């Protein structure tokens, strides 16, 4: 049976000005899961994450996190609740050092021991960050910047991590490593909502998945069963 | 006086003046670097804070510390309030807020200048000195006031550098300046950071206003030229760069006092702006660009 629901998005509509981007989108994430949202460019995947993390307001519907309504709250409140968004395109702070970037990830924490513990934890997960800690983040390679972005997200001990297109711009070897790391993070107890264009990897990893097209959820199910779904095979896997 | 010691004398005067320009430049560049807001009420806030200080200074019977402390507190809070009332609402309503915000600061400057004219009239006011006396080494003479101004300014610059580079709020300020959205995703209340930055910037200009009174008397339009100089120091330093603003503040101060001493006091502003133009023609990103070895 399922664990309790951690995050529940119900019937949300989202607009950019006049442009209707998300249409009546609903989705559930159970505690401990990896849930993937796949879909083509411009389907509204990033907007969905922006709505959850409070970066973009929704027009109607609701978002609940553990029985508490969170839509309408500013992003810095939502982070404090344990929902951390690792944005598309990494969005690291290029002029700050790697360690400063990581400390910003722990901005909401007060306990220095906890921050130090989390730092050791992400260094273990991404050893390269430890060797680069005094370097400006802008000088890192694309893959290292992606690791930094995820590590920064983990610094506040999130309950749920929203990860947007982590494989973007990475070489195939790095992509496969990255997905292994995401799996590890999930095994350590962090729930993950993953938005990806790399359909094969993300469906193989996900417990459950949703297909988002033109702002609407068109299909959902278990990750592995979607991998063999006729429609997904034809539209996304090219087989 | 030999010409060598004359030069040294002007250098010392220039360094004091430069320290003040540095403070004003740092305050100005701070809000641009972090919020991309150009505060053209800056000079008028300088003027207003000088009047405030003058009032408090006589209220406390010529006691500098309490008068300065209260002035700084008032202007720190006033800066936060200005951000909340003049900047934030405009930023929330339109993504193209830079020109409207610029206009609202220019408007605020005009209002402050006119209030000063009505309230205090077009009269020069000042304090002859904070500390009487002159320090002499052989032929060099430095008044205690100038020494005092220099020490307070250097401490203030160090303090500001420390806040921006070594504290949690400073880290948040630097994060917000590079990527506001990502900063919000880290759990930073970006509006609060903006308010704090504006408050800090306004407190810096208020300190300059309080310190400069014995050197520069106060009148309602003193702000326009000082605000222009703060902007010039910022541009010369490389807009948004604190280190650049400090260096260019000192350059401007020294150029001005050497011009005043060796050529004529009438040419001071001209020389200062000529120097700025020349540097900017070769290094459009100012001292900051020069330090980064700008290539074309």
Q: Which domains does chain B have, with CATH numbers?
A: 2-295 (1.10.3470)
> B172 vs A84: CB contact, 8 Å cut-off?
no
Query: Above 50 in pLDDT, residue B109?
Result: yes
Closest-CA residue in chain B for A76?
B187
Closest-CA residue in chain B for A89?
B182
From A79, A87, A93, residue closest to B175, measured CB to CB: A93
Residues 186-245 of chain B whose Cβ lies under 8 A from any Cβ of chain A:
186-190
pLDDT tens digits in sequence order for chain A, 239 residues long? 578 999 999 999 999 989 999 999 999 999 999 999 999 988 999 999 999 999 999 999 999 999 999 999 999 999 999 999 999 999 999 999 999 999 999 999 999 999 999 999 999 999 999 999 999 999 999 999 999 999 999 999 999 999 999 999 899 999 999 999 999 999 999 999 999 988 999 999 999 999 999 999 999 999 999 999 999 988 888 77
The answer, for A84 touching chain B at a CB cutoff of 8 Å, is yes
Query: Above 70 in pLDDT, residue B2?
Result: no
Classify A195 as helix, strand or coil. Answer: strand
- Of A37, A19, A42, A16, nearest to A27 (Cα)? A37
Per residue in B202-236, pLDDT (tens digit) is 999 999 999 988 888 899 999 988 898 899 999 89
From B168, B179, B184, residue closest to A93, measured CB to CB: B179
Shortest Cα–Cα distance, B235 to chain A (Å):
21
Residue B136: which H helix or E strand, with range? strand B134-137
Q: How confident is the model at residue B238 (pLDDT cuts 50, 70, 90)?
A: confident
> A76 vs B172: CB contact, 8 Å cut-off?
no
Residue B131: per-residue pLDDT:
86
Residue B164: per-residue pLDDT:
95
Of A76-85, A158-167, B177-186, B286-295, which range is least confident? B286-295
State how far the alpha carbon of A159 is from the alpha carbons of A186, B57, B279, in Å. Answer: 10, 55, 53
- Its ipTM equals 0.93
From B171, B183, B185, residue closest to A103, measured CB to CB: B171
The answer, for A156 touching chain B at a CB cutoff of 8 Å, is yes
> B188 vs A94: CB contact, 8 Å cut-off?
no
Residues A223, B35: Cα–Cα separation, whole Å: 44
> B172 vs A104: CB contact, 8 Å cut-off?
yes
The answer, for A215 touching chain B at a CB cutoff of 8 Å, is no
- Of B208, B287, B294, nearest to B243 (Cα)? B287
The residue among A76, A88, A136, A155 with the most chain B CBs within 10 A of its CB, best to mutate, is A76
Which residue(s) pair with A22 in the sheet?
A: A14
Residue B286: per-residue pLDDT:
85
Shortest Cα–Cα distance, B110 to chain A (Å):
35
Query: Above 70 in pLDDT, residue B40?
Result: yes
- Of B116, B132, B108, nearest to B55 (Cα)? B116
The residue among B169, B186, B191 with the most chain A CBs within 10 A of its CB, best to mutate, is B186
Closest-CA residue in chain A for B175?
A93
> B184 vs A100: CB contact, 8 Å cut-off?
no
Is pTM beyond 0.95 here?
Answer: no
Token pair of A8, please?
């529940």
Residue B296: per-residue pLDDT:
40
Tally the residues of chain A: 239
From A79, A94, A103, residue closest to B185, measured CB to CB: A79
> A87 vs B185: CB contact, 8 Å cut-off?
yes
Q: What are phi and psi of A78, to 5 degrees?
A: -65, -40
State how far the alpha carbon of A132 is from the alpha carbons of A123, B89, B168, in Å. Answer: 10, 40, 22
Work out whether the CA dihedral A97, A102, A105, A108 comes out positive or negative. negative
Of A67-81, B40-54, B134-148, B257-271, which range is least confident? B134-148
Classify A34 as helix, strand or coil. Answer: strand
> A87 vs B184: CB contact, 8 Å cut-off?
no
Residue B1: per-residue pLDDT:
54
Residues 93-132 of chain A whose Cβ lies under 8 A from any Cβ of chain B:
93-96, 100, 103-105, 107-108
């Amino acid at each position: 049976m399922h664990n309790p629901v951690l995050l529940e998005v119900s019937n949300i509509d989202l607009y950019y000005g006049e442009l209707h981007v998300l249409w009546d989108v609903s989705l559930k994430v159970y505690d401990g899961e990896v849930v993937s949202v796949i879909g083509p460019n411009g389907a509204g995947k990033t907007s969905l994450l922006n709505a959850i993390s409070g970066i973009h307001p929704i027009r109607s519907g609701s978002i609940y996190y553990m029985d508490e309504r969170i839509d309408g709250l500013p992003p810095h409140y939502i982070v404090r609740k344990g929902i951390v968004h690792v944005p598309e395109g990494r969005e690291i702070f290029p002029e700050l050092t790697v360690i400063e970037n990581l400390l910003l990830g722990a901005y909401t924490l007060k306990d220095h021991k906890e921050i130090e513990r989390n730092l050791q934890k992400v260094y273990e997960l991404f050893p390269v960050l430890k060797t680069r800690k005094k370097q400006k983040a802008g000088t890192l390679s694309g893959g290292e910047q992606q690791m930094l972005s995820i590590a920064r997200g983990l610094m506040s001990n999130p309950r749920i991590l929203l990860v947007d297109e982590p494989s973007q711009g990475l070489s195939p070897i790095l992509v496969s490593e990255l997905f292994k790391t995401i799996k590890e993070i999930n095994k350590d107890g962090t729930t993950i909502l993953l938005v990806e264009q790399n359909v094969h990897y993300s469906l193989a990893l996900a417990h459950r998945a949703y297909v988002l097209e033109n702002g609407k959820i068109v299909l959902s199910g278990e990750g592995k069963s979607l991998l063999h779904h006729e429609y997904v095979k034809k539209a996304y896997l090219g087989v | 006086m030999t010409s060598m010691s004359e030069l040294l004398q002007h250098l010392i005067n220039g360094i004091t003046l430069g320290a003040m320009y540095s403070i004003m430049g740092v305050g100005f560049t701070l809000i641009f670097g972090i919020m991309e807001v150009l505060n053209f009420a800056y000079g008028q806030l300088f003027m207003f804070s000088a009047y405030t200080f003058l009032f408090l200074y006589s209220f406390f019977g010529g006691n500098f510390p309490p008068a300065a402390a209260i002035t700084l507190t008032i202007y720190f809070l006033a800066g936060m309030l200005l951000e909340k009332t003049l900047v934030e609402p405009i930023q929330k309503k339109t993504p193209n807020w830079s020109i409207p915000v610029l206009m609202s600061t220019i408007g605020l400057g005009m209002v402050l200048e006119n209030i000063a004219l009505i309230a205090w009239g077009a009269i020069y006011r000042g304090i002859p000195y904070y500390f009487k006396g002159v320090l002499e080494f052989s032929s060099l003479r430095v008044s205690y006031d100038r020494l005092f101004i220099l020490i307070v300014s250097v401490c203030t610059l160090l303090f500001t550098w420390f806040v921006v580079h070594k504290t949690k709020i400073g880290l948040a300020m630097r994060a917000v300046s590079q990527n506001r959205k990502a900063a919000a995703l880290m759990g930073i209340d970006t509006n609060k950071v903006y308010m704090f930055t504006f408050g800090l910037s306004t407190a810096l200009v208020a300190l300059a206003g309080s310190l400069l009174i014995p050197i520069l008397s106060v009148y309602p339009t003193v702000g326009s030229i000082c605000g222009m100089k703060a902007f010039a120091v910022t541009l010369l330093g490389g807009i948004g760069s604190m280190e650049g603003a400090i260096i260019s503040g000192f350059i401007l101060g020294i150029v001005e006092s050497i011009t005043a001493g060796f050529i004529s006091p009438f040419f001071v502003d001209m020389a200062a702006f000529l120097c700025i133009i020349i540097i900017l023609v070769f290094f459009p990103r100012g001292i900051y660009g020069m330090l980064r070895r700008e290539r074309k």
